Amino acid sequence: MNSIEKAFEILDLFFEKDSELSISEVSRLTNINPSTTHRIAAILVKRGYVDHPHKKGMYSLNTAKLLHFAGIIRKRLKVRTVALPYIRKLSQKVNEAVELSLCRGPLAYNIEVINIDRLLNITADSHTFNLYSTGVGKVFLAYMSDDEFQHYVNGIVLQPRTPNTITDADELKRKLREIRENGVAFDDEEHQLGVRNIAAPVRDWENSVIAAIGIIGLTTRISRQRMIELAPEVKSTADKISHEMGYIEEETRY
């Protein structure tokens, strides 16, 4: 059993048990030797998954961490429920596929897709995709803090997916500034030749970007001019979903 498997086995044990546990109990119940158990428990404490308040004796799950995860799950489940009728209506109106995407670390993924174009064959949650080369992905990048963005570019190679892919961090940063100013992001054959994407952010009551929606279609139907024409449609739909999620525009806050 490798270290990662052992760590998850110990964490699973804390999820299963309501009571506090000592290192010896964890070691006995998982059949992992005490020194390894102690080392893994110390890492779990450091990462905030497990509580060890008195630095000796008993260990337990960190309630704050559980509430944090519960909040994430609640938001993700709710945003799909709220967004679904809006993205269906948008797809019917523009006669193009519409995707609802979430961000996970340096990648994005779809949790819902309303398909119109069978040739494009987009499916929900079938794969992850880059942030820097897609419209929905650039939405998430645009609303990162400076530190978060720097951490992102330090941890990834901006490889060209197509000749149109932005691979220079400074140029990408300029594009992200435009996205924040305009509230809409474009993918002009940057992720896949023959495909264009127009996307906008979905916010919650804390003004946090929790999702992105995007119109995606073939270049034979979505010209550059039509991308501009579709931008208000996707932005308007994203704003309606945001308001359902409790978002209040800055000028109306008090």
Are 55 and 101 in a shared domain? no
Domain boundary among 61, 82, 97: 61
Would 95 be classed as within a structural domain?
Answer: yes
pLDDT attached to residue 253: 42
Would 66 be classed as within a structural domain?
Answer: no
CA 21, distance to chain mean position in Å, is: 34
pLDDT attached to residue 1: 61
Are 40 and 83 in a shared domain? no
Are 216 and 103 in a shared domain? yes
- 91 to each of 122, 140, 247, how far by Cα in Å? 13, 22, 23
The pLDDT tens digits along the chain (254 residues) read 688 888 889 888 888 877 788 999 999 999 999 999 999 999 998 888 888 887 667 888 887 877 777 667 666 668 999 999 999 999 999 999 999 999 988 899 999 999 876 566 565 545 688 999 999 999 999 999 999 999 999 988 999 999 999 999 999 999 999 999 999 999 999 999 999 999 999 999 888 999 999 999 999 999 999 999 999 999 999 999 999 998 887 654 43
pLDDT attached to residue 252: 46
pLDDT attached to residue 141: 97
The β-bridge partners of 198 are: 186, 215
- Residue 184's nearest CA partner among 204, 165, 199 is 199
Are 147 and 42 in a shared domain? no
Task: Give the domain CATH number at 141.
Answer: 3.30.450.40
pLDDT attached to residue 251: 55
pLDDT attached to residue 205: 85
* pTM, two decimal places: 0.69
Are 19 and 104 in a shared domain? no
Are 192 and 224 in a shared domain? yes
Q: Measure the CA–CA gap between 154 and 49, rounded to whole angstroms.
A: 26
Are 80 and 196 in a shared domain? yes
Are 52 and 77 in a shared domain? no
Q: Measure the CA–CA gap between 92 and 101, rounded to whole angstroms.
A: 19
Domain boundary among 61, 87, 109: 61
